[in-house]
Amino acid sequence: MDIATLKARGLIRPVTAAPTQPDAFPFGLGSHGVHEVAETAYGHWAAATGFVLGMLHPTQKGACLWICQSNVSRDAGHIPAAALQQMTGGREPRLCIVVHKSAEALWSAEEGIMSGAVRHVVVELEEADFTATRRLALASEKHGVPVTLLLPHTCSGATAAATRWRVGTQLSAMNRHDPRAPGQPRYRAVLERCRSAPAAVGQAFDLEWNDETLSLHMVSGMAAGPAAPHPAPSFATRHGHQRRAG
Amino acid sequence: MAAGIHAGLSLKDARSALPGLLTEQIDRESDAAALLALADWMVRFSPLVCTDGNDGLLLETTGCDHLFGGEAGMAAALSVRVAEAGYGHRLAFAGTPGAAWALARTVAEDGAPVILPPGAERTGLAALPVWALRLSGTVLTLLRRFGLTRIGQLYGIDRKALSRRFQSREAVEAVMLRLDQALGVRAEPFAPLRAPPDYAARLPCPEPLSDSAGISEGLSRLTEELCAKLSAHGLGAQGFVFHAFRSDGETRSLTVNMARPVRKPAHILRLFRERLDRIDPGFGIDLLLLEALRTAPMEAGSQPLSADLAMTITDLGMLSALSDRIQARLGEGRVMIIQPEARHTPDMAERRVPFTGQLPEDTPPPPDTLPGLRPIRMLDRPEPIDAVAEVPDGPPLRFVWRRVVRRVVKADGPERIAPEWWTHLPTPGGGAQAVPRARDYYRVEDEHGHRYWIFREGLYDDGRGNHPDWFMQGLLA
């Protein structure tokens, strides 16, 4: 049995990750290298989290190491397992680590990369400097484990990460079943830095979450609400009915 | 003693007898702590040590004395060590704890240990006073009244005759029990301070170690030895304790814990190395001891060459090793997994538990985890918000959360989650408990596109308290 037959039957696969185009969206985010995802302004942490979860490679199987600085989780809350299941579809195990300092978070991330036990490392932290990100980038390159750093809006300055995204939330898409209810979440991700494709810096991507394919789609226009305004019944009539029933 | 000063004398009397007397307040707590530390340090002679009263130590030396060249050699080594640490001591070896107690407190002198060969208790104790049998004051008084002052006098007395004379059954039983225990007729329980480890390795150092390189080298030798022992029995251990005995009578200990049983020397050494610099060698360390705790059988399976060929995707062994390394550095309980719980309230539906080498079972998700229904970020505890609703049972028009006014443009709900009535059953004593209220959850979006999961605790006409309050539970994707 030659190599081609084995490959065709799916018995062998290349050990390295599938080749991706580092010069096209998402520029390697979630598949290899160190990437930073920051919120546009205070309060957009949920959008940044949604963007990261949407970009977690669905074909990658294995445990995920999720490191969170305690200040961040106190302010923005934690990610329940139900949300992870909704967003990634998989039920991959997740190892959570709560740390107090950024240095501890970065050290744990490096340990996780080098352990060979996890397939993805996500770090939520307050700040990351050039030296620390450079260390992570070298380790990530050597061991082939992607790292995503979730940073607050205050992060700035040069780091060794491959890309930096600024993610903010947008008005949700129209809900086909109920025009008054929020629809699919939409985000706007701006590429702030990019090593592999400097020409793409400054590009903005409007993304919409699709709960059937469990992925983020690029959308052209952002229409907020129904296209044609029409008088909708007020909340009172909608819920008044329910009240009578109950 | 010569000046007539003895225990039990009041300070005033002692001062009047000897005006230049130096006195110091007795500190029982510090004495007890020092005795415990000394007992810990005695582990170098025998693993079974216990304290005896507030001034004695009892060592079970069976099987240990040959390491020092017999009981005489052990006594000499012990004397030197204890004297170096600055303690006056009296030492006796005997076949029973009672006999050793009696000899140490009567015959033995500082620097002159007494060794009673096993089986010679009857003759060895005959000449000693009866108080050496560990009897209480009233019993001793009774014995003295009958003229029984030496232990040997008790041997020939008929037990029935003794009980007739004493009139007190407890006193007779106490005398007989202590006598039998001292002679080895009845067994005496021995409760060591620390349970002896199942597996241990020790390394005596001919020259005291005074630098961390030496300690590190000693530790790696001990680890190799202990892991070979464990491996021969097919075991692994979930905890290792490293003791360094200093020549000045102090002990330094380090503990590492693992999520799963291990016996790989490199991994154990890696965990110790994080904290090895906390061992202060002082004037030198002359004994190293490594103990294995919580040993358990290890499944020694062969590792798959490639993760793609493995039965399960996650290698629990490697994951546990990662968790061990992180906890050795950052502290215990830092690595957690999320365990689903069968609870109604969303903030209690899952719990963070420390990772113990096992992942939660792959249970099917509950039916309410449809996409978009649950928040992507759940606040650690619901935060109160000021909400204004158009109708009592509707979603809010606007609300204030973290001091910012948010105007609701889209809303969906309510999703009513009933309280867990079984956790609030009325107590039999009629204690007043807060009546649980149902929660109405709404998914709302504000004018800037932020999506929230908020709830109203209680209904307006449920008769379970005042007006319901609004809370922020989490942020939706």
Q: Residues A114-118: what's their mean pLDDT?
A: 87
pLDDT of residue A243: 43
Alpha helices (H) along chain A: 3-8, 45-55, 70-76, 81-88, 102-115, 130-143, 235-245
This complex has an ipTM of 0.81
pLDDT(B457) > 60:
yes
Q: Please, which pLDDT band fits residue A35 given cuts at 50, 70 and 90?
A: very high
Q: Please, which pLDDT band fits residue B46 given cuts at 50, 70 and 90?
A: confident
- Whole-number mean pLDDT of chain B? 85
**Residue of chain B whose Cα is closest to the Cα of A75:** B379
Q: Residues B437-442: what's their mean pLDDT?
A: 90
* Chain B contact for A202 (CB, 8 A cutoff): no
Q: Residues A93-104: what's their mean pLDDT?
A: 90
Name residue B476's amino acid.
Answer: L
- Cα–Cα distance between B413 and B416 in angstroms, integer? 8
From the list B319, B393, B412, the residue facing A182 with the nearest CB is B412
- Locate A143 and state its tokens: 């061991």
CA distances from B216 to A189, A192, B273, B278, B457 (A): 51, 48, 8, 12, 59
Cβ contact A86–B371 (<8 Å): yes
- Locate B392 and state its tokens: 């009592």
pLDDT of residue B308: 55
- Which residues, at least 6 apart from B99, have a Cβ–Cβ distance to it below 8 Å? B92, B116, B121, B124, B125, B182, B183, B184
Residues B254-283 have pLDDT tens digits of 999 888 888 889 999 999 988 888 888 888
Q: Please, which pLDDT band fits residue A244 given cuts at 50, 70 and 90?
A: very low
* Chain B contact for A75 (CB, 8 A cutoff): no
Query: Do the beta carbons of residue B351 and residue B360 sit within 8 Å?
Result: no
- Whole-number mean pLDDT of chain A? 81
User: What DSSP assignment string belongs to B125-154?
Assistant: HTTSBGGGG---HHHHHHHHHTT--BTHHH
Q: Which helix (H) or strand (E) holds B214?
A: helix B212-232
**Residue of chain B whose Cα is closest to the Cα of A113:** B322
- Locate A93 and state its tokens: 């195990």
Q: Please, which pLDDT band fits residue B188 given cuts at 50, 70 and 90?
A: confident
pLDDT(B224) > 90:
yes
- Cα–Cα distance between B376 and A79 in angstroms, integer? 6
Query: What phi, psi does B228 have (nearest 5°)?
Result: -65, -40
Residues of chain A contacting residue B376, judged by C-beta atoms under 8 Å apart: 46, 49-50, 53, 79, 83, 87
- Max distance between CA atoms of chain B, in angstroms, equals 102
Range with the poorest average pLDDT among A125-129, B6-10, B425-429: B425-429
Q: Please, which pLDDT band fits residue B228 given cuts at 50, 70 and 90?
A: very high
Q: Residues B211-232: what's their mean pLDDT?
A: 92
Q: Please, which pLDDT band fits residue B138 given cuts at 50, 70 and 90?
A: confident
Query: Do the beta carbons of residue A167 and residue A51 sit within 8 Å?
Result: yes
- Cα–Cα distance between B366 and B267 in angstroms, integer? 39
- Cα–Cα distance between B203 and B219 in angstroms, integer? 9
Cβ contact B338–A43 (<8 Å): no
Q: Please, which pLDDT band fits residue B131 given cuts at 50, 70 and 90?
A: confident
Residues of chain A contacting residue B445, judged by C-beta atoms under 8 Å apart: 171-172, 182
From the list B326, B369, B392, the residue facing A85 with the nearest CB is B369
CB atoms within 10 A of CB B254: 19
- Cα–Cα distance between A5 and B152 in angstroms, integer? 95
Cβ contact A115–B321 (<8 Å): yes
Name residue B270's amino acid.
Answer: R
* Chain B contact for A184 (CB, 8 A cutoff): yes
Range with the poorest average pLDDT among A220-234, B38-52, B77-91, B195-209: A220-234
Q: Please, which pLDDT band fits residue B366 given cuts at 50, 70 and 90?
A: low
User: What DSSP assignment string belongs to B412-427?
Assistant: EEEEEE---GGGGPPP
Higher pLDDT among residues B355 and B432, named by residue: B355
* Helix, strand, or coil (residue B123): helix
Q: Please, which pLDDT band fits residue A237 given cuts at 50, 70 and 90?
A: very low
From the list B329, B338, B475, the residue facing A94 with the nearest CB is B338
Cβ contact A97–B326 (<8 Å): yes
- Cα–Cα distance between B440 and B42 in angstroms, integer? 65
- Cα–Cα distance between B247 and B281 in angstroms, integer? 9
Higher pLDDT among residues B183 and B372, named by residue: B183
Query: Do the beta carbons of residue B428 and residue B404 sit within 8 Å?
Result: no
DSSP state, residue A142: H
Q: Residues B94-107: what's their mean pLDDT?
A: 89
Residues of chain B contacting residue A81, judged by C-beta atoms under 8 Å apart: 338, 340, 350
CB atoms within 10 A of CB A229: 7
Cβ contact B355–A93 (<8 Å): no
pLDDT of residue B301: 62
Residues B102-115 have pLDDT tens digits of 989 888 888 788 88
* Chain B contact for A145 (CB, 8 A cutoff): no
Cβ contact B377–A45 (<8 Å): yes
pLDDT of residue A164: 93
* Chain B contact for A107 (CB, 8 A cutoff): yes
A171-178 contacts: CB < 8 A, separation 24 or more?
A171/A222, A171/A224, A171/A225, A171/B409, A171/B445, A171/B448, A171/B449, A172/B410, A172/B445, A172/B449, A172/B451, A173/A208, A173/A219, A174/A223, A174/A225, A174/A226, A174/A227, A175/B410, A175/B412, A178/B412
Q: If 0-12 CB within 10 Å is exposed, 13-18 middle and 19+ buried, where does residue B66 land?
A: exposed
pLDDT(B415) > 70:
yes
Cβ contact A181–B412 (<8 Å): yes
> Which residue in A166, A163, A98, A107 sits closest to A131, CA to CA?
A107
CA distance A193 to chain B (A): 24
Q: Residues B48-58: what's their mean pLDDT?
A: 87
- Cα–Cα distance between B294 and B257 in angstroms, integer? 10
Residues of chain B contacting residue A153, judged by C-beta atoms under 8 Å apart: none
Give me Rg for the CA atoms of chain B: 35
* Helix, strand, or coil (residue B366): coil
Query: Do the beta carbons of residue A194 and residue A200 sit within 8 Å?
Result: yes
Q: Residues B47-56: what's their mean pLDDT?
A: 86
Residue % of chain A over a pLDDT of 90: 43
* pTM, to two decimals: 0.74
pLDDT(A59) > 70:
no
Residues B387-408 have pLDDT tens digits of 998 888 889 999 999 999 999 9
**Residue of chain A whose Cα is closest to the Cα of B459:** A243
Residues of chain B contacting residue A80, judged by C-beta atoms under 8 Å apart: 338, 346, 349-350, 374-375, 378, 474
pLDDT of residue A241: 45
Residues of chain B contacting residue A174, judged by C-beta atoms under 8 Å apart: none
Residues A149-171 have pLDDT tens digits of 999 999 888 899 999 999 999 99
Residues of chain A contacting residue B362, judged by C-beta atoms under 8 Å apart: 91
Cβ contact B377–A170 (<8 Å): no
B420-426 contacts: CB < 8 A, separation 24 or more?
B420/B343, B420/B344, B420/B345
Cβ contact B319–A116 (<8 Å): no
- Cα–Cα distance between B451 and B444 in angstroms, integer? 6
Q: Residues B295-304: what's their mean pLDDT?
A: 73
pLDDT of residue B379: 92
Residues of chain A contacting residue B325, judged by C-beta atoms under 8 Å apart: 111, 115
Which residue in the block uniquely carries the two structure tokens 């009980």?
B163
* Chain B contact for A76 (CB, 8 A cutoff): yes
CA distances from A85 to A214, B4, B161, B364, B391 (A): 10, 84, 83, 11, 35
pLDDT of residue A242: 43
- Locate B246 and state its tokens: 């200093």
Query: Do the beta carbons of residue A177 and residue A228 sit within 8 Å?
Result: no
User: What DSSP assignment string belongs to B380-446?
Assistant: EEEEEEEEEESSTTS-EEEEEETTEEEEEEEEEEEEEE---GGGGPPPTT----PPP--EEEEEEEE
CA distance B338 to chain A (A): 7
pLDDT of residue B402: 92
